[in-house]
Structure formats: C-alpha cells, structure tokens
C-alpha cells in the first residue's frame, strides 16, 4: 500500500471519526500487515506530522532533500539506526540525491541516482472541456511495458473512466 502525502491521512491532529478510523487501520497495517503480505510505504515531506504508532513501525527510511529542523529531529529520534549526522546532510541534497537506512541496505547509505535510461512513459488523457464533449471512446496507454487501455465506461451508470490492465502486467 503506497500513500503519498501521508501526513494528510496519518496525522494524530485530525480527530474526526473517519480520520480516526483510517489512522487506526493504518496503524494496524503498519504493525501486523506483513504477516498478511501487506507492505506499507508512506511518502511525506512532514514526518513529524505522522502518528507515532504508525511511524514507529517503519523499518526503513529513505530521505531526499529536507529542510525542516523539526522533521529532521523527528527522523533522528524515531530511526536510531539513521545517524543524525547523515540526516543533517539532507538539507543540502540536490535532485537525485538520497539517504537510505534500515533493513533494505546493509549500512546507512548516501546515494546519487544516475540519469534515467528509459524514456518517460505515459501520456495525458483528454477530458471533457465543455458540456457534451467527451474524450475518445478508447485511448491506448503507450507507457513502455504496460498493456491496457483507458476505456469510456458509458455503460457504467456512474459514467466513470476505468483502467483495464491485462493479467500479465498485474502478475509481473
């Protein structure tokens, strides 16, 4: 399960019943999900805004450029295996530089990503601009290595667009 901008769903500051229920399920997935084959990846620029019960279950950390002293202090406190001196270097990271620590690397590691080898895939999907205009009935997804099509589901009572992906991609 991948959650981008995780501080919006995992914050202890949100007290509404829906936020509490989501936070409780995410805490359970973070703590027990691995035995059911569920893995949780949280992406945020504000780790200090993630509920401690969720963040404490994270075994790995990947840090790109961070400038907030509060967030860097939170990472150093929560992830004792991530040396604070290496975390502090993240304030000067350029694009493509990152720090990794935890079980997925043998030792805390500073890394620089190399230049991309493949073409950027995908394309924009045309959407209705005015009442009565519709995108084409089917638009092929041209992303390399992916098979599927965006299909206008006008037979769907809700009229939603759906993505159809072949079994080969889902099992890859």
Most confident of 15-24, 132-141, 145-154: 15-24
The pTM of this model reads: 0.60
Of the candidates 1, 28, 2, 19, the residue with the CA atom closest to the CA atom of residue 10: 19
Q: How far is it, in rounded angstroms, from Cα 38 to Cα 58?
A: 13
Render pLDDT for 48-95 as a digit per residue (tens, 0 to 9).
Answer: 888 888 888 888 889 999 888 888 888 888 888 888 888 889 999 998
57 or 167: whose pLDDT is higher? 57
């Amino acid at each position: 399960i991948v959650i981008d901008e995780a501080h919006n769903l995992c914050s202890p500051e949100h007290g509404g019943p829906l936020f509490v229920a989501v936070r409780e399920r995410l805490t359970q997935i973070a703590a027990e999900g691995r035995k059911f084959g569920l893995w949780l990846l949280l992406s945020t620029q504000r780790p200090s805004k993630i509920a401690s019960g969720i963040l404490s279950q994270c075994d790995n950390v990947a840090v790109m450029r961070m400038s907030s002293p509060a967030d860097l202090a939170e990472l150093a406190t929560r992830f004792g295996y991530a040396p604070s001196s290496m975390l502090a270097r993240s304030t000067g990271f350029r694009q493509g530089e990152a720090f990794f620590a935890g079980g997925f690397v043998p030792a805390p590691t500073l890394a620089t990503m190399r230049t991309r080898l493949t073409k950027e895939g995908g394309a924009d999907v045309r959407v209705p601009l005015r009442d009565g205009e519709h995108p084409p009935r089917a638009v092929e997804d041209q992303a390399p290595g992916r098979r599927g099509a965006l299909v206008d589901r006008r037979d769907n009572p809700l009229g939603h667009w759906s993505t159809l992906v072949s079994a080969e991609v889902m099992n890859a």
